[in-house]
C-alpha cells in the first residue's frame, strides 16, 4: 500500500472503526468521520487515499486508525507523508469568463440528460426520465423530491430543504446529495460575485442536518466550501477549461456511487442555472428575517406533472 494523498481537514488523533465497504474503511473519533479510501474514490477533505487498499475482507480485523503529524498508522502499516501530499479542498481561481461558464453549465445539463443513471435525480432536468419510476414507492419518492425542489426554488427555501432531507436510500440519500450540490453552487457564487451567502448556507445546513453521520459530514463540508476532488475538478473545468475537460470531469463525478455523484451534480446545476434573483433573494431574506419566505422565481426545470401527483401512489 502507498499513501497518495491526505485530506486537509483530517485532524491528528485516534479513530475507531465505524464501517467498512468495498473501497473504503470509515473511522470516527466521536465527533467526525475520516475515510480511508482507494484511488477510484479519490481525494477529499477527510479522505486518506491509499493505492492498493486491501479488500473489505482483508481489513475485517482493523479497528483503529492513528493519525499523527506526518504519520498515519493502520493495521500493521505506517505511512509517512509530507506537506506536498495534503489535498487542498478549497476552490482557488482568479479570473473567469461568464460566457465560458454559462456555455459549460449548459453542456453539463446535456451530459446529465444523456448519461445519468435511470434512478438518479436527472429526472429533474429531463422530464422524460420520470417514466423510469415504475413502482408506487419509486413514484412517491420522485414526487417528494420534485415537491421539495419546487419549494426550494419557487416557494419557501427551508421548507423545501426539510422535504429533501434524508429523502432516498443508500449511504447518502439523493435528497441530501442534491442539497450538497446546492451548497457547492452557493459557495461558487460567493467566490465569483462576492455575495454574502454565509447566513443562507448556515440556515440550509441547519435544516438539512439529520441523523445520518455521512450526510451530515458531507453537507458540512459543502457548506464550508471544502470540495472532494471530483467536484472540484468539475467546477474548475466549468470556469476555466475546455469542453473536453468538462466532459471528462463530469463523467468521473457521475461515476461516484450508485447515483450520488449525479445527484450532487443535479443540485449544483439547478442552483447555478437559477443564479439571477433567486440566490440574491435567499441572502436578503436571511439577513432581514433570519428565515426564508416565498421566493418568486419561475423554476425553468420544474415538473408540473410530478408535482401535481399525490404522494401516496398505489
Three-state SS letters, 178-214: HHHHHHHHHHHHHHHHCCCCHHHHHHHHHHHCCCCHH
Strand (E) or helix (H) holding 86:
strand 86-87
Residues 70, 134 within the same domain = no
Domain, as residue range, for 62: 2-87
Q: Compare 6 and 284 and report the one with higher pLDDT.
A: 6
Residues 6+ apart with CB under 8 A from 131: none
Q: What is the mean pLDDT of residues 3-8?
A: 96
Q: Tell me the three cell numbers of residue 291.
A: 428565515
DSSP 313: -
State the pLDDT confidence band at 131, using cuts at 50, 70 and 90.
confident
d(CA 137, CA 116): 21
Q: What is the mean pLDDT of residues 131-136?
A: 88
Residues 73, 103 within the same domain = no
Q: What is the mean pLDDT of residues 128-145?
A: 90
pLDDT at 287: 52
- Domain boundary residue among 46, 65, 87? 87
Residues 171, 198 within the same domain = yes
* 92 in any annotated domain: no
For CA atoms 148, 154, 155, 159, the dihedral sign is positive
Q: Compare 288 and 45 and report the one with higher pLDDT.
A: 45
* 313 in any annotated domain: no
Q: What is the mean pLDDT of residues 5-18?
A: 96
* 168 in any annotated domain: yes
- Specify the 3-state DSSP secondary structure of 239: helix
Distance of CA 284 to the CA centre of its chain: 25
Question: Residue 311 CB: number of other CB atoms within 10 A?
Answer: 11
* 179 in any annotated domain: yes
Q: Tell me the three cell numbers of residue 285.
A: 431574506
Q: Tell me the three cell numbers of residue 12.
A: 491528528
Residues 148, 287 within the same domain = yes
Q: Tell me the three cell numbers of residue 222.
A: 459543502
Residues 65, 156 within the same domain = no
Question: Residue 302 CB: number of other CB atoms within 10 A?
Answer: 17
pLDDT in tens, 51-97: 988 765 555 556 899 999 999 998 888 999 999 999 999 999 888 88
Reply yes or no on whether the pLDDT at 309 is more than 80. Answer: no
Do 80 and 233 touch, CB atoms closer than 8 A? no
Strand (E) or helix (H) holding 111:
helix 98-115
Question: Residue 41 CB: number of other CB atoms within 10 A?
Answer: 20
Residues 178, 268 within the same domain = yes
pLDDT at 301: 28
pLDDT at 178: 98
Q: In the chain, what are the helix, strand and coil shares in percent, each to the nearest 5?
A: 50, 15, 35
* 194 in any annotated domain: yes
The number of folded domains in the chain is 2
State the pLDDT confidence band at 171, using cuts at 50, 70 and 90.
confident
Residues 149, 218 within the same domain = yes
pLDDT in tens, 253-291: 999 988 999 999 999 999 999 855 565 556 555 455 444
Residues 113, 80 within the same domain = no
> Among all chains, which residue has been given the C-alpha cell 415537491?
147
Q: What is the mean pLDDT of residues 147-160?
A: 93
- Domain boundary residue among 68, 87, 106? 87
pLDDT at 296: 30
Amino acid at each position: 500500500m502507498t499513501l497518495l494523498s491526505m485530506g486537509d481537514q483530517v485532524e491528528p488523533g485516534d479513530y475507531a472503526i465505524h464501517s467498512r465497504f468495498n473501497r473504503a474503511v470509515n473511522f470516527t473519533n466521536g465527533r467526525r468521520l475520516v475515510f480511508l479510501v482507494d484511488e477510484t474514490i479519490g481525494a477529499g477533505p477527510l479522505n486518506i487515499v491509499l493505492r492498493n487498499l486491501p479488500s473489505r475482507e482483508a481489513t475485517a480485523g482493523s479497528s483503529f486508525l492513528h493519525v499523527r503529524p506526518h504519520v498515519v498508522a493502520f493495521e500493521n502499516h505506517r505511512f509517512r507523508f509530507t506537506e506536498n501530499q495534503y489535498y487542498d479542498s478549497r476552490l482557488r481561481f482568479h479570473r473567469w469568463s461568464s460566457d465560458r461558464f454559462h456555455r459549460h453549465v449548459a453542456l453539463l445539463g446535456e451530459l446529465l440528460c444523456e448519461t445519468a443513471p435511470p434512478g438518479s435525480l436527472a429526472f429533474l432536468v429531463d422530464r422524460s426520465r420520470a417514466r423510469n419510476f415504475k413502482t408506487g414507492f419509486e413514484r412517491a419518492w420522485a414526487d417528494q423530491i420534485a415537491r421539495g425542489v419546487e419549494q426550494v426554488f419557487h416557494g419557501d427555501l427551508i421548507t423545501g430543504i426539510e422535504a429533501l432531507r434524508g429523502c432516498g436510500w443508500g449511504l447518502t440519500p439523493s435528497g441530501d446529495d442534491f442539497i450538497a450540490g446546492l451548497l457547492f453552487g452557493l459557495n461558487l457564487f460567493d467566490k465569483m460575485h462576492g455575495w454574502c451567502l454565509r447566513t443562507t448556507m448556515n440556515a440550509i445546513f441547519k435544516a438539512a442536518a439529520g441523523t445520518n453521520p455521512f450526510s451530515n459530514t458531507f453537507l458540512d463540508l459543502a457548506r464550508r466550501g471544502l470540495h472532494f476532488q471530483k467536484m472540484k475538478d468539475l467546477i474548475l473545468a466549468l470556469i476555466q477549461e475546455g469542453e473536453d475537460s468538462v466532459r471528462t470531469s463530469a463523467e468521473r463525478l457521475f461515476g461516484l456511487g450508485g447515483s450520488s455523484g449525479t445527484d450532487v451534480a443535479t443540485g449544483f446545476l439547478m442552483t447555478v442555472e437559477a443564479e439571477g434573483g433567486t440566490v440574491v433573494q435567499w441572502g436578503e431574506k436571511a439577513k432581514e428575517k433570519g428565515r426564508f419566505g416565498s421566493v418568486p422565481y419561475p423554476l425553468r426545470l420544474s415538473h408540473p406533472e410530478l408535482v401535481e401527483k399525490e404522494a401516496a401512489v398505489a
